[in-house]
Structure 1
Amino acid sequence: MPNAIVLGGTGLIGRAAALRLARAGWDVVVTGRDPRHVPAALTEAGVRFVASDRRDPAALAAVLGAGADLLVDACCFTADDARSLLPYLPGIGSAAMISSKAVYVDAQGRHINSPERPDFGGPVREDTATLEPAWDGRYRSRDGYGRNKVAAERVLLESGHPVSVLRASKVHGVGATLPREWHFVRRVLDGRRVVLFAHDGRGFDHPTAAANVAALVEAVGERPGSRVLNIADPDVPTGREIARAIAARLGHAWEEVLVPGDEPGRHPWDVVPGITLDLRAAEAIGYRPAGGYHDLIGPTIDAVAAHGLDAPWAAEAEDADVDYAAEDAYLARR
């Protein structure tokens, strides 16, 4: 039985990867700080939990010292995070580092977190230019996140070991800390009968199901190599289409109002020009998606709605996400 270690295995991507591997016959260990964050499905699948701080050298040595057939690092954000893995990579058959499309820049140097949206002119391939790396470890900012990810990628890709860097887009799935679907679920729960879409509803930003990241992780485990792979869903719905899927799932009806400008009506997928990731490199090594956005999003919508208006993320999301006064003022002027 092949064995796998998932660092950060209680998070959205880590738990999906662990569950996929366990169901495929792998012996899986996940790490995290709090066993209460381990879903019952993982325990039932035979996944073992080890309490471990990713940035504690002694704890990392205890987890990785014996090696593994597959290592999945779901919480590698900086060059120092990546360097901490280097002593153990000779004992790892294949490794997957979870990265992000936030590393990409267009011809003008704009990235997804820039004040002005990038324009990639078509599907983004893995050889698209990236941000200059940041080696300072300050990744908790819109500009620092992508730069520190680039630095971490470079450390691992230059190690000479079989490390696959997986660049995900807008990740979704049951258990997300701040689910983007909340934007529209909240409006359903509040009984809004009108929903607004900025940019005439044209915005889209390629979603990535955690289950599809897990499918690629399994392929990487079976086919080790040093490479960069985009990972996303096979479909690319607009925010307007996502809103329709959410309303339909929850049995809600509303009028759609298309706003020509950039507000009101902004939403998490309001990216114009829209962004699509090229997935051919992943497909070439055997990636087969678990499903498309519309195939997989149902349980997430149900779980988000089940929390109701007292959802743990509601207060964090409200200021930036819920401005009904601006929406109502726009509607009154129509």
Structure 2
Amino acid sequence: MTENKRRALITGASAGFGRAVALELAEQGWDLIITARGADRLEAVRTATGARAMAGDISDPAHRERLAEVVGSGGLDLVINNASALGPSPLPSLERYPLDELGAVLATNVIAPLAVIQAVLPAVRASDGIVVNISSDAAVGAYEGWGGYGASKAALDQLTAVLGAENPGLRIYSFDPGDMRTDMHQAAFPGEDISDRPEPRTVVPALMHLLESKLPSGRYVASELPVVS
């Protein structure tokens, strides 16, 4: 790794939006640390990007500790908390939502991203880096069946906002990519055709604009951002 090569940590990088972002950043010359639960698909992304790949569950404290060790004390220019858990499929109403599964969703979508940030924040500060937590329109809209996932993303949005206020020298973003054609979105609509949703790679330019724009910390929606030409 060269001295001026930017470094990024991406969770949930084996598929969907995380994979698309990893491919774009690698194309731009970034040095990547990637993680996801699916070892085989993560290995394919590692092969395509040259990243340092560590398979594991981001909700597991031992796995997060290993990630922090890989990041080390050097600078970290970017953290993308993309790993998410949908919860039960088909999506249940809150009246029937299994509470143990809600706990698992919160552990992955709220506690794990904060724990990752806590672990690597010194490295982010050393690079005047950026933190991006991937949000959802379910965080701000009331959609039947989306109560568990939406509540977790709303909590993540609030954590992101407070982290931004507590770290005025950094850029800390919630980024809502909108609906995409991903495995998670398909699981939310089992048996339905979701081919009308955009591919994750089509949303990446909006994120690239956010990273390069110097916009203040806050919540941003992909469809409302210009794209990098």
Could you say which residue in structure 2 is the equivalent of 1:196? none
TM superposition score normalised by structure 2: 0.68
Could you say which residue in structure 2 is the equivalent of 1:79? 110
Mapped to 1, the partners of 2:136 and 2:110 lie a distance apart of: 15
User: Between the two proteins, what is the percent identity of the paired residues?
Assistant: 23
| Contact 2:160 2:172 (8 Å CA) reproduced | yes
| Contact 2:14 2:45 (8 Å CA) reproduced | no
CA displacement, residues 240-280 of structure 1 (integer Å, 9 cap, x when unaligned): xxxxxxxxxxxxxxxxxxxxxxxxxxxxxxxxxxxxxxx1x
CA displacement, residues 115-173 of structure 1 (integer Å, 9 cap, x when unaligned): xxxxxxxxxxxxxxxxxxxxxxxxxx521211221111111221134211111221126
Could you say which residue in structure 2 is the equivalent of 1:35? 39
Q: 2:78 aligns with which of 70, 73, 77?
A: 70
Q: 1:212 aligns with which of 202, 225, 229?
A: 202
| Greater C-alpha radius of gyration | 1
| Contact 1:94 1:220 (8 Å CA) reproduced | no
| Contact 1:71 1:95 (8 Å CA) reproduced | yes
- Which of the pair is proportionally richer in helix? 2
- Give 1:288 shift: 3.3
Could you say which residue in structure 1 is the equivalent of 2:150? 146
Q: How many correspondences in the alignment?
A: 186
In the alignment, is residue 94 of structure 1 matched against residue 130 of structure 2?
yes
Name the Cα RMSD after superposition.
3.1
CA displacement, residues 69-101 of structure 1 (integer Å, 9 cap, x when unaligned): 111111255432343134222422101111101
Runs of at least 5 residues in structure 1 that lack an aligned partner in the other structure: 106-110, 115-140, 187-204, 233-278, 290-334
SS of 1:68's equivalent?
Answer: coil
Mapped to 2, the partners of 1:212 and 1:185 lie a distance apart of: 15
TM superposition score normalised by structure 1: 0.49
Runs of at least 5 residues in structure 2 that lack an aligned partner in the other structure: 85-107
In the alignment, is residue 163 of structure 1 matched against residue 172 of structure 2?
yes
CA displacement, residues 189-221 of structure 1 (integer Å, 9 cap, x when unaligned): xxxxxxxxxxxxxxxx9x453113322333343
Correspondence 1:105-254 to 2 at 5 A: 105=141, 111=142, 113-114=143-144, 142-159=146-163, 160-161=166-167, 162-172=171-181, 178=186, 183-184=192-193, 207-223=197-213, 225-232=216-223
Structure 1 residues 83 and 44: alpha-carbon distance in aligned structure 2, compared to 1, 3 A threshold: closer
SS of 2:219's equivalent?
Answer: strand
Could you say which residue in structure 1 is the equivalent of 2:96? none
Could you say which residue in structure 1 is the equivalent of 2:92? none
Mapped to 2, the partners of 1:69 and 1:40 lie a distance apart of: 24
- Give 1:52 shift: 2.8
Mapped to 1, the partners of 2:193 and 2:13 lie a distance apart of: 28
SS of 2:80's equivalent?
Answer: strand
Mapped to 1, the partners of 2:200 and 2:185 lie a distance apart of: 13
Structure 1 residues 29 and 143: alpha-carbon distance in aligned structure 2, compared to 1, 3 A threshold: same
SS of 1:152's equivalent?
Answer: helix
SS of 2:131's equivalent?
Answer: strand
| Contact 1:100 1:169 (8 Å CA) reproduced | yes
| Contact 1:98 1:166 (8 Å CA) reproduced | yes
- Give 1:11 shift: 2.6
| Contact 1:208 1:231 (8 Å CA) reproduced | no
- Give 1:8 shift: 1.1
SS of 2:135's equivalent?
Answer: strand
